[in-house]
């Protein structure tokens, strides 16, 4: 919501997106569709393996696009070791996405059906839109910092997840980049919601 309010380009991209979910809710819905069971709290990390296994069973080709070189390979190797899926197309989020035409041609040549795109907001949403225009048969799922979390997720982060506090580990790791996102933007967004509700109650919305 913060991005939609302050970045016109992000607003335009979101308006053309097929499905938008609050962080984590998309993962909950995906898992519920797989086994019919609703989970009260989970992240994209929790659903990556079962969703990829389901895609593999359906003979769908998968690609991982991550922010740093080598990050996606770690995730793909983890899935390969567990026998979940093999032959994942892995691309980094810098060199491999700098040439959009070449990137889309790589996806088409690889006959990729589903792309898990983890570049962080709002870059991943903008790139997802550009890919969808050039590769309309490809489904793009934005997963944020999923690939980094798979490689750098310490035990304390996993322990804090049931409490919804795993973000504190990422905040301590990257305070400059994440402080405003975790400590400021939620309060701004909450103030908008309260203000809107008050206008609704007073009949001025």
186 belongs to a structural domain: no
Of the two residues 131 and 15, the one the predictor is more confident about is 131
Question: To which residue do tokens 């050039």 refer?
Answer: 134
The DSSP-derived string for 34-56 is HHS---SS--HHHHHHHHHHHHH
Residue 109 counted as domain residue: yes
User: Which residues span the domain enclosing 84?
Assistant: 7-165
Q: Is residue 153 assigned to a domain?
A: yes
Would you say residue 204 lies in a domain? no
Asked if residue 205 belongs to a domain, the reply is no
| 66 CB-contact burial (10 Å; exposed 0-12 / middle 13-18 / buried 19+) | buried
In a domain, 141, yes or no: yes
State pLDDT tens for residues 29-61: 777 877 888 877 776 667 788 888 888 889 999
| 138 located within any domain | yes
> For all residues of the chain together, what is the average pLDDT?
79
Domain count, the chain: 1
Residue 151 located in a structural domain = yes
Task: State percent of the chain over pLDDT 90.
Answer: 15
Phi and psi, residue 116, nearest 5°: -95, 115
CATH number at residue 126: 3.40.50
User: What is the value of pTM for the model shown?
Assistant: 0.74
User: What tens digit of pLDDT does each residue of 134-154 get?
Assistant: 999 999 988 887 887 777 666
Confidence of residue 13 (pLDDT cuts 50, 70, 90): low
């Amino acid at each position: 919501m913060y991005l939609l309010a302050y970045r016109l380009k992000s607003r335009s991209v979101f308006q053309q997106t097929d499905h938008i979910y609050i962080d984590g809710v998309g993962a909950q819905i995906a898992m519920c569709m797989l086994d019919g069971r609703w989970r009260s709290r989970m992240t994209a990390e929790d659903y990556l393996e079962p969703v990829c296994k389901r895609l593999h069973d359906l003979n769908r080709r998968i690609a991982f696009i991550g922010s740093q070189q080598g990050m996606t390979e770690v995730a793909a190797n983890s899935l390969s070791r567990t026998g979940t899926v093999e032959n994942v197309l892995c691309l980094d989020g810098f060199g491999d996405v700098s040439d959009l035409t070449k990137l889309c041609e790589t996806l088409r040549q690889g006959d990729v059906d589903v792309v898990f795109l983890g570049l962080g907001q709002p870059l991943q949403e903008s790139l997802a839109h550009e890919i969808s225009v050039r590769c309309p048969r490809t489904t793009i799922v934005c997963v944020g910092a999923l690939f980094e979390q798979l490689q750098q997720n310490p035990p304390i982060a996993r322990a804090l997840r049931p409490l919804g506090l795993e973000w504190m580990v990422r905040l301590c790791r990257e305070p400059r980049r994440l402080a405003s996102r975790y400590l400021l933007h939620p309060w701004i967004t909450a103030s908008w919601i309260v203000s809107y509700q008050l206008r609704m109650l007073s009949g001025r919305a």
